[in-house]
Structure 1
Amino acid sequence: MTAQPQIAPASNARRTGAHLVVEALRAEGVTKVFGYPGGAIMPVYDALPGSGLEHVLVRHEQAAALAADAYARVSGEVGVCLATSGPGATNLVTGIANAFLDSVPMVAITGQVATPLMGTDAFQEIDVFGVTLPIVKHSFLVRDAADIPKIFAEAFELAKRGRPGPVLIDLPKDVTQASAAFPSVDQTVRAPVRGVPSEPASMAQAEALIAQAERPLLYIGGGVTLAKAEDALRRFFTRTQIPAVATLKGLGALPTDTPGFLGMLGMHGTKAANLAVNESDLLICVGARFDDRATGKLDTFAPQARIVHFDVDPSEISKLRDADVGLTGDLAETLDRMEPGVLSIAPWRQRCADAAERWAMRYDAPGSGIYAPKLLKDISEQAGDKAIITCDVGQHQMWVAQHCRFSRPQAHLTSAGLGTMGYGLPAGIGALMAEPDATVITVSGDGSIMMNIHELATLRRYRLPLKIVLLDNSQLGMVRQWQELFYDENFSEVDLFDNPDFAAVARAFGVEAFTLDRREDAPAAIDRLLSTNGPILCHVRIDPRENVWPLVPPGKSNADMMEA
């Protein structure tokens, strides 16, 4: 990291703590913050006008955190969200947890009641420091305005360093109102952070295992993107031609249409991917954590395989699956240094290619209604390499992962670890703020969109050209599917028969909208969706009985997939 400019105009200048907050954000290179004002944070909002920071006013604090999360994923910078004390702070919690489980760098700034009132059950007082302890990398409660520059510099460094994640800064109101001197020297200057090279002995062990393997497989996770190691991974893949699979967050690290890439593994992974894992004799895990949704029944996962595990977080090595070799150094550097030689795996590559062809997804569904996988596939292909798809959680999330084309990991924004319904719309806002020239598409469901539908007002306010594809089956589709398959069709509280007219709701917010329910109208609908300059919602009615396939039943091996 390069030295930042001094944050003080003069050594004897004095400002309030709130002004120090704004200057500290500017010193970190922050240009956008997502938030919602209130009483305890009001001094910071008083300092925002004329500061050069763009504040994005959302309509719910949860959306501020989720938009900041997506902004960070696309830009590669730290996302910043801002809320007041009490309910403002607690409304950020879901978004903070989302960033924690998906390792997204974020600084969440909350107002707090004045320090003399803390612990008195004052109006809108909540111990957000304590509430968020399990879901942040670190927390700060600021007691002295003079400490603000140093604390903010440390918070941003912690959010980015090693395995990224959220950091909380709680600001009592009297601290932000207090007068404080600007530091006479820049307190934010830090030495560059560089990854530690992997040990030569471990490198040699890994190279030997790869060279000896007959059926090696790359298992790619979201850590590749966090380490900014996509290019190094692609070079390694090109050198070795080892077939590859990816987790939900790993999609796009290799372009998903790359020959040799078998798709997503796990509960709703492709059959080719899951069978390749089952048959492999060496699993090269790059930035993944053996999550239960990826592994299925853990003691049956890759039963014949030895493990080489790359991860920046040493605690992940051998946490769930013993690794024969663990490498925790700089991921890009390690991949570029890895030279296992010419591999004799042509029969294995051909076997994987044959499986990918044999078990390829089909799009010839009967009937005249909209087949969601085909629609999503066509949208992503027509949108091209500038597309970013954000999605909510449920059946549509899995259809996006299975059927959409991703040429880069930043093109696929999803709540992987926490599974947050309502993520898609705020994430679309954050993505457009980070990359205004991108074609950003939010894929949501009729259950998920109701969680944060008020953010249509944010789209309108900032004239953000978000393309929303709302798949409406009048059901909580994934829950209904599980009740059908594993709960004797006891359909409990999944019927959303009383949904509003979503197109009319969007138009009431000033967002263009239309409805699609016939397959023959899909090409024209895609054209309209992608060519409209402003925000637009395509309300798609789909068959409520449609399920996501394949599916690994709970407690089963990934080799035991259920199919349509």
Structure 2
Amino acid sequence: IEFTSKEPEEIKRYSDSITEDDLNTVADMIKASEKPFILVGGGAVISEADKEVREFAELVDAPVCDSLMGKGAFDGTNKRYTGMIGMHGTKASNFGVTESDLLIVLGARFSDRVIGNAKEFAKNANIVHIDVDPSEINKNIKADASIIGDIKEVLLRLNKKVEKKDNSQWMAHIEELKKQYPLDLDKSKLTGPAVIDSLYNITNGDAIVTTDVGQHQMWAAQFYKYKKSRQLITSGGLGTMGYGVGACIGAKMGNKDKICVNIAGDGCFRMNMNEIATATRYNIPIIQIVINNHVLGMVRQWQTLFYGKRYSNTVLNDAVDFVKIAEGMGAKAYRVTTVEEFEAALKDAIEMNIPCVIDAQIDQDDKVFPMVPANTAISEAFSEEDLAELGYDC
């Protein structure tokens, strides 16, 4: 099989349509702004525009957030990075975008999980939308300016026109938001965030992470700092339960020198756990982490917070034993209930370099925070502490 780096004809056509007027308009808007913010989406990942996005952020002197599909296109360890935006985005990203006077969107489609209430989204900002697909422009959010083209090609040309800015006061304010509203991480017990944080630390942030769909997916997006594109492989808006283990096998086959880990909930793992047998049959050394709360966690979270704890079809508390199932398919398997047990199991799995399954038992009512209720402004993001102050028992 011969691989080439040639662009598809469709992308070429749209890149050829980039005009000097469009570029100049955006450069002028950047020059006039005092509170710019950059939102990076999946288009920047597809375009492999990591280098250009970084250079652009430095020129504009702006903070950077991302969508779920944009993870890694901007280094998650960079001081400008504020975290994911949207329903389970950080308060720093949600509040910062709401305060900004210019939002520059690179290859994102303004999904409902990102924007919340469309009428309230970035209402103080002019919006620049750069995307290869013209049908995305003005579809969900009206843009004040737009450029149709491949993100990498657009930024290669736009970076030559943007004058280096100094927005030190704005950047200092964003840094204060980051300090004031950090993600909640409690490592005194085994939780979803604790699992992902330990995974990040033990793999030095260099693993390829695949996910299924639900709470574990959001924790993987929040607590693993992705340094480059395609470190996170997830089905995103498709919401495909059972996607992750097959994706992890594929990732490992294409990156045999990398640690490849799939994160799944127990509900998702049930959908496609038979593929562990594929990994053992061909000796593909993936690590499958099951964040096991014995419920369909994300749906249960909504039932708890918004439906009076009327739990319907979300409890999976039965006699299924994932360790025995994994061992029956030829994998090494562990059941862990503490952070220390999880870290020991993970280190052992990495060293053994064979297909492994780690069944990480967490509480059924652990939740993903922050959270934005459906159809409300992203500035309405709330945390567990906010609910506690209101006297709400969740």
Same structural fold, with TM-score higher than 0.5 when normalized by the shorter chain: yes
Matched, 1:347 2:169: yes
Residues 414, 424 of structure 1: 8 Å contact kept: yes
Could you tell me how far apart the structure 2 residues matched to 1:423 and 1:162 are?
A: 28
Could you tell me how far apart the structure 1 residues matched to 2:257 and 2:283 are?
A: 13
Could you tell me how far apart the structure 2 residues matched to 1:281 and 1:162 are?
A: 33
Residues 377, 405 of structure 1: 8 Å contact kept: no
Matched, 1:360 2:174: no
Q: Which amino acid aligns with 1:352?
A: I
Q: Which amino acid aligns with 2:69?
A: K
- Residues 492-511 of structure 1: pairs in structure 2 closer than 5 A: 492-511=312-331
Residues 86, 94 of structure 2: 8 Å contact kept: yes
Residues 215, 280 of structure 1: 8 Å contact kept: yes
1:194, distance to aligned residue in structure 2 (A): 8.6
Matched, 1:416 2:210: no
Structure 2 residue matching 1:195: 3-state secondary structure:
helix
Structure 2 residue matching 1:480: 3-state secondary structure:
helix
Structure 2 residue matching 1:326: 3-state secondary structure:
strand
In 2 relative to 1, CA 499–401 (structure 1 residues): closer, same or farther, beyond 3 Å? farther
- Residues 364-513 of structure 1: pairs in structure 2 closer than 5 A: 364=186, 369-513=189-333
Give RMSD over aligned pairs. 1.9
Residue 117 of structure 1: aligned partner? none
Could you tell me how far apart the structure 2 residues matched to 1:458 and 1:521 are?
A: 27
Residues 197, 333 of structure 1: 8 Å contact kept: no
Could you tell me how far apart the structure 2 residues matched to 1:420 and 1:474 are?
A: 19
Q: Which amino acid aligns with 1:254?
A: F
1:276, distance to aligned residue in structure 2 (A): 0.6
Residues 48, 73 of structure 2: 8 Å contact kept: no
Could you tell me how far apart the structure 1 residues matched to 2:291 and 2:342 are?
A: 13
Residue 94 of structure 1: aligned partner? none
1:343, distance to aligned residue in structure 2 (A): 1.8
1:498, distance to aligned residue in structure 2 (A): 1.5
Q: Which amino acid aligns with 1:490?
A: R
Could you tell me how far apart the structure 2 residues matched to 1:213 and 1:348 are?
A: 11
**Structure 1 vs Structure 2: percent identity of aligned residues?**
35
Residues 326, 333 of structure 2: 8 Å contact kept: yes
Matched, 1:215 2:35: yes
Q: Which amino acid aligns with 1:380?
A: Y
Residue 390 of structure 2: aligned partner? none
Larger radius of gyration: 1
Could you tell me how far apart the structure 2 residues matched to 1:442 and 1:365 are?
A: 21
Unaligned runs of at least 5 residues, structure 2: 385-394
1:337, distance to aligned residue in structure 2 (A): 2.2
Structure 2 residue matching 1:523: 3-state secondary structure:
helix
Residues 381, 405 of structure 1: 8 Å contact kept: no
Residue 526 of structure 1: aligned partner? 346
Residues 220, 250 of structure 1: 8 Å contact kept: yes
- Residues 22-101 of structure 1: pairs in structure 2 closer than 5 A: 26=1, 29=2
Structure 1 residue matching 2:209: 3-state secondary structure:
strand
Structure 2 residue matching 1:430: 3-state secondary structure:
helix
Number of residues of Structure 1 aligned to a counterpart in Structure 2: 382
1:251, distance to aligned residue in structure 2 (A): 1.0
Residues 470, 540 of structure 1: 8 Å contact kept: yes
Q: Which amino acid aligns with 1:349?
A: M
Could you tell me how far apart the structure 2 residues matched to 1:235 and 1:162 are?
A: 26
Residue 92 of structure 2: aligned partner? 272
Could you tell me how far apart the structure 1 residues matched to 2:368 and 2:100 are?
A: 26
Structure-2-length-normalised TM-score = 0.93
Q: Which amino acid aligns with 2:243?
A: Y
Could you tell me how far apart the structure 1 residues matched to 2:82 and 2:312 are?
A: 36
Higher relative CO (CA 8 A, sep ≥ 6), structure 1 or 2?
2
1:499, distance to aligned residue in structure 2 (A): 4.8
Residue 65 of structure 2: aligned partner? 245
Could you tell me how far apart the structure 2 residues matched to 1:325 and 1:350 are?
A: 27
Residues 48, 229 of structure 2: 8 Å contact kept: no
